[in-house]
Structure 1
Amino acid sequence: MKRTTLSLIAGTAALAAVTGFAALETPDASGAPTARAAAQLPVERTRLLCPAPSSSDIAETSYTSFTPVTKGTASGGKAELRSATEESADGTSGSTKGKDKAKTAKPVLIPKQPGTPATGDTSGADSPALIGAADGRFAPGWTVQETTEVAAGTGRGLQGVNCTAPDTEFWFPGASTDAERTDYVHLTNPDDAPAVVDIELYGKDGAIKSTVGEGITVQPHSSEPVLLSTLSDQRQTNLTVHVSVRSGRVAAAVQALDDKIGGDWLAASADPAGTLVLPGIPKDATAVRLIAFTPGDADADLKIRLASPGGLITPAGNETLHVKSGMTSALDLGDVTRGEAGSLVLTPTDRSVPVVAALRVTRGKGDKQETAFIPATGPVGTRATSADNRGKGTTLSVTAPTAAARVKVTASAGSGGGTPVTKTFSIKAGTTQDVDVPVPAGLKGTYALTVEPLSGGPVYAARTLAATAEGVPGFTVQTLPDDRGTVAVPEADQDLSVLQK
């Protein structure tokens, strides 16, 4: 047998291994193979990146990891979260930079089993960026949250961010270079080769000219915080940050810190779209600011509606927002929720133009104010998870902007003990509901909340975590898009004719 024929057979076998199996299809009456839908199978490997949490010496940071139990996974697998500089070339523990493995720092956390949260913590200003890897039964839907408490100073309050997978493009409406703001964009590279990144800033008058943000190199297994005010000498209250990767891939998040009203992480907005949903505005918000940007060549005109517990309403005096092409627009909505749960729904007034958007939300008054951010997000989809929840201070908001829906919410066992609890909720069309969050019986430690739509239209969700310290209402909001725990795997057909070519 010729070597080329052997290679082709080996290639066919490898393809069968990747896709699960190779199926020999029987042609239908027309002679064409019968098409079958791709199977939804659990992902086998997940990587998550967590930015360096704080530059404050008094910062206290906790990490919570959770993997929902997923049918169809193998019995094996593992997960761990460790310093970016300790990540090995294949994503396993140990270092590839010549260090003795025995001297490698311990992982921040190692989950023991799916269905139960695992926690770890760090403190001070030297806490590094982290890289996590999960495979086998720990990979599908793996979620990690980083939560930091800072008692005083710039950005004091509660700061939270979901650790994210690397990508090549990010949009952050809601950043600032105001004199009272200190905003960093954190870039974390999980790979063995350098990543080259461009950072562009867009203000109220358009692109801000600067060459400083071009060609930023992020070394392998490292994280680079870039202070936005060093990219331009212009001071602007509302900015949109665009991160694009020329080579490689990174995870990106903006840390937005204010001298007077606290701060939080600003996660990337959902991809530019004509219709956007920004879920989970706290009902006691005292000020809400909408920041929007359109990257295309056309202006966008957006209809603004609030999905309240009673239905969709139009905020008086703030019915629409005109977003000029390439320029950042902002609109102060005040206390738009008026003491009720709410989510913002943006739709085109006429033609659809892709837009990115985020909300800056303020709670409290005077010197007791604290801020958080809510970016536009995707729907829950099949399943979404919030990893870090406490016995007190957790609020889960669920929105059904177009059609009524039923959702199942499961509270996991606690990280230190407790029994899972599940509740089902009906959400009326056009409404937002702060649901009666289930809490594990006998809870010890923190727990996870998993949201799964059962029927009806698309739902969007966000979780608010609140903790008051010294009279300041610290809080952070994380949206809950689909956890992408499964992937469509097409069936492979045997085509023996390739062996004859």
Structure 2
Amino acid sequence: MPISGEASRSAARSRRQARRTTAYTVVSGVVLLGAAGALVTAAAIAAPPGSSLTVQPPATEVPAGALTAVCPEPLRLLAGNAGGTDADYNPVSESATTTVNAVVLGGTGSTLPAAQLGTLAEGERVAGIDAGSEVPLTGSRFGGVISNAPAAEATVLKAEPSGKEQAAANAVLGYTANDGDLAGLAAANCQVAENDMWLVGAGTTVGATAVLRLTNPSVTPSTVDLELHGAKGRIEAAGSRGIVVAPGESRSLVLAGFAANEESLAVRVRSSGGPVTAVVEQSILRGLTPGGVEIIEPTAAPAPRQVITGVDLQSPDTIKELAEQDGHGSVRPFLTVAVPGTTDAAVHLRVFGPKGEVQIPGGGVFSVPAGTAGRIPLADLPAGTYSLDLTADVAVAAAAVFSRGTEPDERIDLAVAPADTRLGSEHLAVAAPGGGSALVFTAPDGPAEIRVRAVGKDGVLQQEKAVAVPAGRTLSLTAKDIGSGELSGVLVSAVGEAVYGAQLVTGEGPGISVLPLPAGSAGSRTAQVGLGY
């Protein structure tokens, strides 16, 4: 059939339009495909599928803050009976003296940082160390000393950073009294505040007074809960939870109001909000005869292993003769083991003296029921200074309690040795006011070495000494073993196998006290900082 001219022209236009449409569609498809390909390629470059490469934010050095350590209030006599929990005090005995020693060290190559000992309540300056302007020679450092600063109330040591690091600083409070109901010697490190700690070894039997002192040095209110463990298990006591400690204030609580007639109590202190410091001020009065004083410091956190050093015992005959006198049964030394969990603890105790391990009757194996604070007797050990190595199949907390004295009608003193933590680098032990100090070490797992460097009364650091610590023995170092002249403190570091140490303080007559070595230097800190939006 013939096609007309008009029809032919119309068909041609249709074919051209179709070709343009097809061409546009194909070109558009190519453009879109290319764009999609570009997107896929960019995504592949930005985040390769299955890539194992992890890019961490860079580490940024965090400026060091000032070190703040709280020194306890002086020991004071309770007024009236101690039936409640809030302490009420009689005036401090005129024979009692409470002072604070402190040592502050600048970092290597840094100037001496400023430090001040001031009152907790008002921040009034009691004593201080001015910042130095001189830069020490390469490899050397400067030190500053506060000696015998009077402490009529709770005080706070504040040390500024040394360069980019927190200053190595520590302070020790010392209490002495030669007569009165609180006659004796007590010493304690000034503490950095924490939110969780254990105090073990307090007694609340007749004649024994234990006052828990809580202090909040921060600017944030603190709410404290107490967890108490006694001979029969955990003690649920009214008023032991929700204890508010305002910023810059202290609370004094009589533990007999929570748990009476306990020979050896374990107290866990947990705070929310601001961190707190906690000590137990313990005193004993047997009739009219002083039975000793001690400031109980926090012990190492519960763990399957605890090591205690500085346990200084009298002879079994002396202890037996004294304990048989009326009201003197508590002079028998013992180890308190608190089991906070729900499973009984199978405990193995090893005892190390200066010449090596000492055998314990029964092989040193004991069982302590769950939830209790059990006692393991130490009265049969020969006279000497010991270290206790305690292992268990569950986490436990521990402290050793012992007395010193010979005559029932004369004053006797009391000591509580908390468990120590493994020593690391730059632990600063400060000489305690009112007594002479010895550093006591043990290395239960194998031979080790400690490096001690004395700090003189003028703050000058003396030559470092390396001292071997034999495996399975107790090593005691006096000031003469460490340095020359009168010392303000000792810088201690440990290398090799695990080493544990404590400060044993002895004074006039039966005066005795034990302090754990403070935590080592914090050094500089870094944090990973990620930037984004």
Q: Does 1:476 align with 2:517?
A: no
Deviation for aligned residue 1:161: 0.5
1:457 aligned onto 2:482: no
Counterpart amino acid of 2:522? G
Q: 2:422 maps to which residue?
A: 379
Which protein has the bigger helix share?
Answer: 2
1:334 aligned counterpart, secondary structure:
coil
Q: What corresponds to 2:474 in structure 1? A: 432
**C-alpha displacement of 1:43:** 4.5
Say if 1:312 and 1:326 are closer, same or farther in 2 by CA, change over 3 A: same
Deviation at 1:155, TM superposition (A): 3.3
> What is the deviation of 1:484?
3.5
Change in Cα spacing, 1:409 to 1:42, as seen in structure 2 (3 Å) is: farther
Secondary structure of the residue aligned to 1:211 is coil
- Higher mean alpha-carbon deviation, 361-370 vs 33-42, is at 33-42
Which of 346, 355, 360 is residue 390 of structure 2 equivalent to?
Answer: 346
CA contact (8 A) 1:142 1:483 kept: no
Alignment counterpart, residue 107 of structure 1, candidates 115, 126, 140: 126
List aligned pairs for 1:88-107, cutoff 5 A: 105-107=124-126
1:133 aligns with 2:169: no
Amino acid at match of 1:63: V
Query: How far is the alpha carbon of 1:295 from its aligned partner?
Result: 0.9
Checking the alignment, whether the CA contact within 8 Å between 2:113 and 2:130 is kept in structure 1 is no
Q: Aligned pair 1:312/2:350, yes or no?
A: no
How many residue pairs match? The answer is: 434
Show the counterpart of 2:230. Answer: 203
Q: Which moved more, 1:367-376 or 1:42-51?
A: 42-51
Q: Percent identity?
A: 25
Give the whole-Å Cα distance in 1 for the aligned partners of 2:433 and 2:172: 13
TM-score (ref. length: structure 1): 0.79
Q: What is the aligned partner in structure 2 of residue 154 from structure 1? A: 181
Is the contact made by 2:173 and 2:187 (CA closer than 8 Å) also made in structure 1?
yes
CA offset at residue 36 of structure 1?
Answer: 12
Q: Offset at 1:81?
A: 1.5
Number of the residue aligned with 2:306: 276
CA distance in 2, matches of 1:180, 1:111: 45
Structure 1 position 420, deviation (Å): 2.4
| SS of structure 1 residue aligned to 2:219 | coil
1:339-366 superposed Cα distances (whole Å, 9 cap, x missing partner)? 3331000012xxx311000011212222
Q: Which runs of 5+ in 1 are unaligned?
A: 1-29, 88-104
Is the 1:117–1:387 Cα contact (8 Å) retained in structure 2? no
**C-alpha distance in structure 1 between counterparts of 2:59 and 2:383, whole Å:** 46
Which residue of structure 1 lines up, in the alignment, with residue 85 of structure 2? none
Q: TM-score, normalised by structure 2?
A: 0.75
Q: How much has 1:141 moved relative to structure 2?
A: 2.5
State the SS of the aligned residue for 2:121: helix
- Structure-2 residue corresponding to 1:365: 406
The alpha-carbon deviation at position 140 of structure 1 amounts to 2.6
Q: Deviations over 1:363-385 (max 9, x none)?
A: 22223421111111201111212
Q: Assess if the C-alpha contact under 8 Å between 1:169 and 1:242 holds in 2.
A: yes
Aligned partners of 1:116 and 1:413 also within 8 Å: no
Q: Following the alignment from structure 1 to structure 2, what is the Cα–Cα distance between the partners of residues 294 and 490? A: 36
Q: How many Å separate the matches in 1 of 2:436 and 2:129? A: 26
Kept in 2, the 8 Å contact 1:390–1:447? The answer is no
Distance 1:85 1:449 in 2: 30
1:52 aligned onto 2:73: yes
| Other-structure match for 1:32 | 53
CA distance change for structure 1 residues 368 and 40 in 2, over 3 Å: closer, same or farther? farther
1:292-347 Cα distance to aligned partner (Å, 9 max, x none): 111111111110111222333332246122121111101221152x2333100001
Query: 1:84 — aligned with what?
Result: 120
Q: Measured at CA, do residues 458 and 482 of structure 1 come closer, stay the same or move farther in structure 2, by a change above 3 Å?
A: farther
User: Quick one: which of 323, 330, 335 aligns to 1:290?
Assistant: 335
Instruction: Indicate if the aligned counterparts of 2:64 and 2:524 stay in contact, CA closer than 8 A.
Output: yes
- d(CA) in 2 for partners of 1:424 and 1:41? 33
For 1:183 and 1:111, locate their aligned partners in 2 and report how far apart those are by CA, in whole Å. Answer: 38
Once the two structures are TM-superposed, the CA of residue 490 in structure 1 deviates from its matched residue by 4.5
Give the match's secondary structure for 1:117.
strand
Cα RMSD after superposing both structures:
2.8
Question: Aligned partners of 1:320 and 1:53: how far apart in 2?
Answer: 39
Q: How far 1:449 sits from its partner (Å)?
A: 1.3
Q: Which residue number corresponds to residue 220 of structure 2?
A: 193
Query: What SS class does the counterpart of residue 229 from structure 1 fall into?
Result: helix
